[in-house]
Amino acid sequence: MQASLPLTAHRSLRERWFPNGEWVLAVALAIEIAIFAATAKNFFTAGNFFEVMRLSVELGLLALALTPVIVTGGIDLSVGSMMGLAAVSFGAAWRDWHWPIPGAALFALLLGAAGGALNALLITRLNIPPLIVTLGSFSMFRGIAEGITHGAVNYSNFPPNFLYLGQGYWFGIVPVQFPIFLLALAGYAILLHRSIVGRALYAIGFTAAGARYAGIPVARRIGLMYFLAGVVSAVAAIVYVAHIGQAKSDAGTGYELAAITAVVLGGTSVFGGRGTIWGTIFGLFSISVLQNGLHLAALPSELTGVLTGTLLVVTISIDRLHGRAQQKATQPKAAILEETETMKNSQLAVLCGAILAGSLIVAATNVWLVHSLDRTAGGTGGGSAATGGHRAVIAMMPKAKGDPYFVSCRAGAEEAARELNVELIWDGPTGLDPAKQNEVVEGWITRQVDAIAVSVENQAGISTVLRKAREHGIKVLTWDADAAPDARDYFINQATPQGIGFTLTDEASRLLKGKGEFAIITGALSAANQNLWIGFIKQRVAEKHPGLKLLTVRPSDDDRDKAFTETQTVLKVYPDVKLIMSIAAPAVPGAAEAVQQANRRDVDVIGLSLPNLCKKYIHDGVVQEIVLWNTKNLGYLTVNTAAQLAQGKLQKGLTSFAAGRLGKIEVRGSEVILGAPMIFDKANVDQFDF
Amino acid sequence: MLERWRREISVAIAILALMAVLAFVAPGFFSPENQSDLVLANMPVLIVALGMTLIILSGEIDISVGSQFAICSVAAGLFAKMGLPTPFAGLAACLTGAAMGAINGALVAWVRIPSIVVTLATMVALRDALRWATEGAWVQDLPPGFQWFGLSQTGSRVVTIAIAAALVITTAWALRHMAAGRAVYATGSDKNAALLAGINPARVVFWVFVITGALTGGAAFLNSVRFSQIPANAGINLEMKVIAAVVVGGASITGGRGTIAGTTLGVILLGDIGPALTFLGVSAYWERAIQGAIILAAVAIDALRGRAGRYAGKLAAHGA
């Protein structure tokens, strides 16, 4: 049991303000800030301070709402999903039902309240543990959001005075959404620390049965917190929509775990009974400062996860070990049970400390390694062409790091960067959170890179931040997928969605000889690109190939194993299916393996994927062909164009330019054309290595 | 007897209801090929769920199994490419999992950080570390003896299913009849009482995490041999699937209550819903909503049937 319920009157200042070891975190945060201020460019500025604030508002709101929930000993996993549901219902009310913005916002809030009430009802009236209830509503809320929008509907083009809420500044520097966060912060601080309800929450978390005997209406107090969590999630959703400029069913993906991390990092005990709002704020900012600092120092985003995990374990271990030492000092004759356990395991605690120290050293050496590699790469490049004093910095972003498709683009990008002696920063989202791309670009603007090249995940969402980059004098390119034309200087066009959709459909028709049934295995149901392609595939089937029939669209979530299982089911449910069209890179090998294992020689597999992933299946005759472009050349051309643009070598209105080893490249308007999509089959697949 | 298996019976009824609908609307669901495909597809979830049952029984939780699964998959492939014979590559994958489980277990048992915090940290850290190390590259060009253990497709299916069945039966038996199994229940019911009864709860907690790690490694290996290449992002959301299955199968999230039979039924119910909805012609866009509703309905009906177990009391017990 935690012995820190502050009942005694005389406490030291530290105990009074940081009863749960938040000081450990405050120290960690200070160290973080010191390190980044020394190493990361433009980190320690007022502008960046407010940027960090702005990017933490949505997550911060959820973390605030979760603090009292966790103080009562509960948990709410559904807050991120509720954000998705509230966002799409807000968008639907505004665009489809033509409600005014305040009406739509009210509707979203009511929905959040209803969702929170559902959780509260199941938890307090039916006595089902919160983890289970919110695990169910976690699936259900997101599922409803996907169901009503088919994952694809993207509400955007909101009026500017609404977008001001998420993108504007007061006095040119203070983000508009910041006061909302302060208001919620004040509300929750008063509720938790200065009200009778707050005291009741601690009592409930400490022991629910005891609280009942003390005359506290336990169920009502607990229920209120889940209800509020639902409402606050809806508020976060509205801020999020105004910030990103779009409402889609994937809003807030993964936010629940990030928010819980912030709360727990801040010293709130998951067993309930202890924790403070201040701790949560410290936790929140140690995570967002870490992310922001890594972007500004141009270190890979994956470090965020590794360092957050380490920070979490280390701060809580220090707090636990410190707390135990103190307990031993003040209560030499503690309960027998506690005493024996502590004695027996003290050596093991040391051991675990050693493990932690080890992991820290590993993390630190990795950081150092990355740094030194950067330096050596820069050193050799600088020697060969030491003409200009300033090396252009080009920041390039894929849709998702770790996707094999983008990994192969990166190889070409690095080749071009070496050739032209420019510094290449390659970073992007590691998860499915659509707001991440904006966050990374914001970091690059603060870092003042020379050119930014983005493979756009959400057109409506990213265009605003790209315009902001252009206002700051940064050259902006898009590659792979385009933003709004006025938000960038050039688009490196490897193939239009229309071209991809039409080519795939024409190839399918050719293989099926104009007649037959086919099924599509897509990426995630809400993936913007894939949904665009599916639209063009349907259009082409209706216009040109009436003999083809699309049976079903199944998701693979970019998971090979899921694509495999889905294809197996499709083959059985639709025995007449003659062709599987997989339009996500990991889905083609998954579908091919399923067709091969089912021994269905009559079923063709085509799709969009990388030659290296499909070589084996193409040679086995399971996959007939895949459609793609030369991804290495795409990365090469992007960096080449960006470098020439940053060095002022490309004039407006030119129709072609020389791009290194690719020779003369055509420019149409503001689109740089890579060439037509290629078809890889048995004959040519071995010539490519990516 | 009936009361004792109340929760398992609830789940079994839900499965039977689903089957009855399928029997009328889509009898193709029951074809032998579909059944064997379903078993293989859910086998990783089932094996990891065995370990998760132990962890939840002992009053803890592990949300890092998905990340462990991904690392073990890649590790199995790399060991095989280093020239290790396939069974030893599997063993090495198990050891890799056990090592990660040991880190979780040590932090939970002896540093006494709550398990959800420890595994939240390792989940994020391990997944991002793997992403960093592989940069998304798949393990390819596996030795020829790796896929299907070098056996025929049917032969390897039999081997895999036999291993999974043996694991289920062993775990169920050990949990009921071995002293170590009873110690897991005792630890989850009341740590102090367990200590007084001569059990070392910290050691129990440490070992259930190690066992879960090893089982996760085994599941990752058995899953990898079904394919000819290994992706670097395996096991995404595996932890949610596994925890949902264990909890729907009747294990109490506060520890001390639950059975392997219930977990198995939970895996069957949740694993069958997805394909069953496809067979019933439900659009993919509504599947997730329906799955969530079924989980909520299952636990709500169960709670309505037995309102005797007061949550408030259990919560207090958990805090102690």
B318 domain residue, yes or no: no
Pairing mode, strands A155-156 and A246-247? antiparallel
Handedness of CA A570, A559, A600, B162 (dihedral sign): negative
Answer whether residue A437 shows pLDDT above 60.
Answer: yes
Answer whether residue A345 shows pLDDT above 60.
Answer: no
Of B215, B234, B226, the closest CA to residue B40 belongs to: B226
Residue A655 φ then ψ, to 5° = -110, -10
Nearest-by-CA chain B residue for A126: B303
Query: Do A122 and B296 count as a contact with CB atoms less than 8 A apart?
Result: yes
Query: Do A209 and B313 count as a contact with CB atoms less than 8 A apart?
Result: yes
Whether the CB-CB separation of A585 and A613 falls below 8 Å is answered with yes
pLDDT-based confidence at residue B294 (cuts at 50, 70, 90): confident
**Which among B112, B234, B295 is the nearest to A561, CB-wise?**
B234
Neighbour tally for B13: CB within 10 Å: 12
B170 CA: distance to closest CA in chain A (Å)? 27
A432 CA: distance to closest CA in chain B (Å)? 11
Query: Do B120 and A312 count as a contact with CB atoms less than 8 A apart?
Result: yes
* Both structure tokens of A75: 């948990």
CB burial of residue A187 (10 Å; 0-12, 13-18, 19+): middle
pLDDT at A110: 97
A565 has a chain B CB within 8 A of its CB: yes
pLDDT at B252: 84
pLDDT at A13: 66
Query: Do A132 and B253 count as a contact with CB atoms less than 8 A apart?
Result: yes
Secondary structure of B96-133 in the HEC alphabet?
HHHHHHHHHHHHHHCCCCCHHHHHHHHHHHHHHHHHHH
**Residues 319-378 in A contacting B (C-alpha not used; CB under 8 Å):** 320-321, 337, 340-341, 345, 348-349, 351-352, 355, 366
Query: Do B136 and A150 count as a contact with CB atoms less than 8 A apart?
Result: no
**Which among B110, B129, B135 is the nearest to A352, CB-wise?**
B110
Query: Which single residue is written with the structure tokens 């198990």?
Result: B94
Rg (CA), chain A: 27
Query: Do B295 and A271 count as a contact with CB atoms less than 8 A apart?
Result: no
A197 has a chain B CB within 8 A of its CB: no
B227 has a chain A CB within 8 A of its CB: yes
pLDDT-based confidence at residue A548 (cuts at 50, 70, 90): very high
**Which among A135, A569, A598 is the nearest to B243, CB-wise?**
A135
**Which among B223, B287, B303 is the nearest to A127, CB-wise?**
B303
B53 domain residue, yes or no: yes
Whether the CB-CB separation of A615 and A689 falls below 8 Å is answered with no
* Nearest-5° Cα angle at A185, A180 to A189: 155
C-alpha pair distances (Å), A304 with each of A190, A427, B125, B180:
32, 12, 8, 39
pLDDT at B312: 41
pLDDT-based confidence at residue B311 (cuts at 50, 70, 90): very low
- Chain B residues with CB-CB distance to A348 below 8 A: 106, 110
Of A555, A524, A520, A546, the closest CA to residue A535 belongs to: A520
Helix (H) or strand (E) holding B149: none
CATH architecture of A393-494+632-675: 3-Layer(aba) Sandwich (3.40)
pLDDT at B259: 93
Among A2-11, A323-332, A338-347, A634-643, the minimum mean pLDDT is found in A338-347
State percent of chain A over pLDDT 90: 40
Instruction: Give pLDDT tens digits for A252-278.
Output: 888 998 899 999 888 888 888 889 999
A276 has a chain B CB within 8 A of its CB: no
For helices A218-244 and A57-71, angle between their N-to-C axes, nearest 10 degrees: 170
Neighbour tally for A148: CB within 10 Å: 17
Query: Do B135 and A407 count as a contact with CB atoms less than 8 A apart?
Result: yes
Handedness of CA A609, A615, A616, A619 (dihedral sign): positive
pLDDT at A378: 41
B319 domain residue, yes or no: no
Residue B3 CA to residue B18 CA, distance in Å, equals 23
Neighbour tally for A26: CB within 10 Å: 18
CATH fold for the domain made of A497-628:
Rossmann fold (3.40.50)
Query: Do A402 and B233 count as a contact with CB atoms less than 8 A apart?
Result: yes
Query: Do A208 and B312 count as a contact with CB atoms less than 8 A apart?
Result: yes
Mean pLDDT value across residues A504-510: 92
B309 has a chain A CB within 8 A of its CB: yes
Residues 6 or more apart from B308 whose CB is under 8 A from it?
Answer: none
Residue A545 CA to residue A208 CA, distance in Å, equals 66
Mean pLDDT of chain A: 84
pLDDT at A319: 75
Answer whether residue A349 shows pLDDT above 70.
Answer: no
B169 CA: distance to closest CA in chain A (Å)? 26
**Which among A127, A310, A316 is the nearest to B125, CB-wise?**
A310
CB burial of residue B186 (10 Å; 0-12, 13-18, 19+): buried
B128: domain CATH number? Answer: 1.10.3470
Range of the structural domain that residue B115 is part of:
6-313
Domains A51-296 and A393-494+632-675 share a fold: no
Is pLDDT larger for residue B300 or for residue A605? A605
* Nearest-5° Cα angle at A433, A431 to A435: 135
Residues 6 or more apart from A379 whose CB is under 8 A from it?
Answer: none
**Residues 425-444 in A contacting B (C-alpha not used; CB under 8 Å):** 430
pLDDT-based confidence at residue A324 (cuts at 50, 70, 90): low
Q: Position B290: which residue type?
A: I
B72, B111, B282: best mutation site toward chain A, by most A Cβ within 10 Å?
A: B111
pLDDT at A343: 38
Among A147-151, A622-626, B127-131, the minimum mean pLDDT is found in A147-151
Is pLDDT larger for residue A549 or for residue B311? A549
* Both structure tokens of A540: 């082409």
- Chain B residues with CB-CB distance to A63 below 8 A: none
Whether the CB-CB separation of A582 and A620 falls below 8 Å is answered with no
Mean pLDDT value across residues B110-115: 88
B303 forms beta bridges with none
CB burial of residue A662 (10 Å; 0-12, 13-18, 19+): middle
Of B109, B152, B194, the closest CA to residue A348 belongs to: B109
Q: Count up the domains in chain B and report the number.
A: 1
Is pLDDT larger for residue A364 or for residue A88? A88
Instruction: Give pLDDT tens digits for A164-200.
Output: 888 888 888 888 999 999 999 999 999 999 999 999 9
pLDDT at A128: 86
* Both structure tokens of A62: 């959820």
Of B124, B229, B232, B135, the closest CA to residue A398 belongs to: B135
Among A137-146, A329-338, A375-384, the minimum mean pLDDT is found in A375-384
A175 forms beta bridges with A169
Question: What is the value of ipTM here, to two decimals?
Answer: 0.87
Answer whether residue A369 shows pLDDT above 60.
Answer: no
Nearest-by-CA chain A residue for B310: A127
Is the pTM above the cut of 0.95?
no
**Which among B237, B285, B319 is the nearest to A151, CB-wise?**
B285
Whether the CB-CB separation of B209 and B101 falls below 8 Å is answered with yes
Mean pLDDT value across residues B1-7: 71
CB burial of residue A4 (10 Å; 0-12, 13-18, 19+): middle
Query: Do B113 and A269 count as a contact with CB atoms less than 8 A apart?
Result: no
Nearest-by-CA chain A residue for B107: A352
pLDDT at A530: 86
Neighbour tally for B203: CB within 10 Å: 16
B166 domain residue, yes or no: yes
Instruction: Give pLDDT tens digits for A271-306.
Output: 888 899 999 999 999 999 998 888 888 888 888 888
Whether the CB-CB separation of B62 and B115 falls below 8 Å is answered with yes
State percent of chain A over pLDDT 70: 87
pLDDT at A362: 53
Nearest-by-CA chain B residue for A218: B312
Answer whether residue A434 shows pLDDT above 80.
Answer: no
Query: Which single residue is written with the structure tokens 């503690």?
Result: A334
pLDDT at B251: 87
Residue A282 CA to residue A273 CA, distance in Å, equals 19
pLDDT at A334: 40
B48 domain residue, yes or no: yes
Whether the CB-CB separation of B73 and B235 falls below 8 Å is answered with yes
Whether the CB-CB separation of A497 and A470 falls below 8 Å is answered with no
Query: Which single residue is written with the structure tokens 């006025």?
Result: A486
B218 domain residue, yes or no: yes
Nearest-by-CA chain B residue for A340: B195
pLDDT-based confidence at residue B160 (cuts at 50, 70, 90): very high
pLDDT-based confidence at residue A612 (cuts at 50, 70, 90): confident
**Residues 103-142 in B contacting A (C-alpha not used; CB under 8 Å):** 103, 106-107, 110-114, 116-118, 120-129, 131-132, 134-138, 140
Query: Do A569 and B288 count as a contact with CB atoms less than 8 A apart?
Result: no
Residues 6 or more apart from A48 whose CB is under 8 A from it?
Answer: A42, A292, A296, A446
CB burial of residue A397 (10 Å; 0-12, 13-18, 19+): buried
Instruction: Give pLDDT tens digits for B216-265.
Output: 999 999 999 988 889 988 888 899 889 989 988 888 888 888 999 999 99
pLDDT at A355: 55
Query: Which single residue is written with the structure tokens 């056990």?
Result: B98
* Both structure tokens of A402: 């770790």
Instruction: Give pLDDT tens digits for A448-483.
Output: 899 999 988 877 788 888 988 999 889 999 988 888
What dotted CATH number matches A51-296? 1.10.3470
* Both structure tokens of A81: 């999903």
Domain boundaries, chain A: 51-296, 299-377, 393-494+632-675, 497-628
Answer whether residue A14 shows pLDDT above 70.
Answer: no
Helix (H, G, I), strand (E, B) or coil at A157: coil
Is pLDDT larger for residue A236 or for residue A150? A236
Residues 6 or more apart from A147 whose CB is under 8 A from it?
Answer: B285, B286, B288, B289
C-alpha pair distances (Å), A652 with each of A472, A511, A649, A668, A674:
19, 44, 10, 11, 19
**Which among B137, B314, B315 is the nearest to A407, CB-wise?**
B137
